[in-house]
Amino acid sequence: MRIHQVEHFVATADHGSIRTAATALGLTQQALSRSIAVLERELGLKLFERLGHGVALSSAGRIFLGSARRIVRDAHIETTPDGGLLEIATWGTLAIHPTATLLGLLHRENPTMRSRIEQAKDEETVCRLVREGHCDVGTILLPSLWLHDLTAIPLGHLREWLILPPGTRVDPGPVAWSAVAEHPLVVPSSGMPISFVGQEVAGTGVELKLGVRSAHRDAQVSLVLSGAGAALVTERYAEMARARGAVVRELDLRLARQIGVVHRRDRKSPLAERFTELAVAHPPQR
């Protein structure tokens, strides 16, 4: 097995097409097909299912993809001093801040670098993408149930705001949790669990009500605007909700989740190392 064969496999997996991958690699379709066929023969595995409109990873191919990415990345680290490419897994509003903010700082330091942000559906997927080698680092909320063998570096906190349907009568200033309990909560299926909120208000005698659990985090604002209930959201979503007429208030007991950067325990590329350093030096503000 040679490194160029593995690179051909990864490119084909990413493009989902022999033709498109061959164009990106500067090869003919026949040459790329032969390279993959040789790799499959050497591994004794069928890596792709051939479809009428392209190719799809087989079950063996999906398992091999993480290792293949690590092989390519490690080879690239050996030949390129700055690592060249940084792949980051993130989810929800963390893609905007702190991930995009930190990546912008890194690009200014390394103008010739390349990067890719993988938007995952939840923090479990972020951890899986990092663990399997699809991404170098990930950004998640802590504490997390999905770390297992990953290393997490705690950063700052993201503050949560209360958004309420337009026209909701609520006193000015911070809202007491007893007032929050008057409204059913709209919560995402993944991300901040209502149990975490419950732990924060434990001892206050307040019992929160679950109204709607949505798999689509971006739908929280729309659900609140339609009157389905209230929601606890980060500043970005609070600003979005306010612009569309929602009532936005801070909480008398401030609620904040800690952000963390996760990576595998084996060596990181220089770019992944520097991203982590920037994350520690520029933590998100409460």
With 0.95 as the threshold, say if the pTM is over it.
Answer: no
User: What CATH number does domain 3-79 carry, 3.30.70.260, 1.20.1630.10, 1.10.10.10, 3.40.1280.10?
Assistant: 1.10.10.10
Q: Which CATH architecture has domain 85-156+258-281?
A: 3-Layer(aba) Sandwich (3.40)
Half-sphere exposure of 132 (CA within 13 A, CB side): 14
pLDDT for the residue numbered 94: 86
User: Is the pLDDT score of 8 beyond 70?
Assistant: yes
Q: Is the peptide bond between 143 and the residue preceding it cis, with omega within 30 degrees of 0? A: yes
Cα torsion 122, 123, 124, 126: sign: positive
Q: Tell me which amino acid residue 229 is.
A: G
Distance CA(149)–CA(105), nearest Å, equals: 28
**What is 158-255's CATH topology?**
D-Maltodextrin-Binding Protein; domain 2 (3.40.190)
| Predicted confidence (pLDDT) at residue 25 exceeds the cutoff of 70 | yes
Give the pLDDT band (50/70/90) at residue 207: confident
Mean pLDDT for 71-85 is 64
For range 146-156, the mean pLDDT: 90
Q: How far is 104 from 201, CA to CA, in rounded Å?
A: 36
pLDDT at site 91 = 86
Residue 145 CB-density burial (10 A; 0-12 exposed, 13-18 middle, 19+ buried): exposed
Q: Do domains 85-156+258-281 and 158-255 have the same CATH topology?
A: yes
Residue 255 in tokens: 């609620």
- The span from the CA of 213 to the CA of 54, in Å, is 37
pLDDT (average), residues 117-132: 88
Looking at residues 50-76, what average pLDDT do you find?
A: 83
Length of the chain, in residues: 286
Residue 77: CB atoms within 10 Å: 19
Among residues 53, 36, 54, 33, the alpha carbon closest in space to that of 45 is found at: 36
Token pair for 156: 């700052």
> Over 80: is that where the pLDDT of 198 sits?
no
Checking if the pLDDT of 286 tops 50, the result is: no
How many of the other CB atoms lie within 10 Å of CB of 29? 14
Distance of CA 176 to the CA centre of its chain: 32
**Could you state, in order of their start, the residue ranges of all structural domains in the chain?**
3-79, 85-156+258-281, 158-255
* Spatial distance between the Cα atoms of 270 and 274, rounded to a whole number of angstroms: 6
The DSSP letter of residue 118 is E
- DSSP lists the bridge partners of residue 263 as 137, 151
Helix 18-25 with 3-15: angle, nearest 10 deg = 130
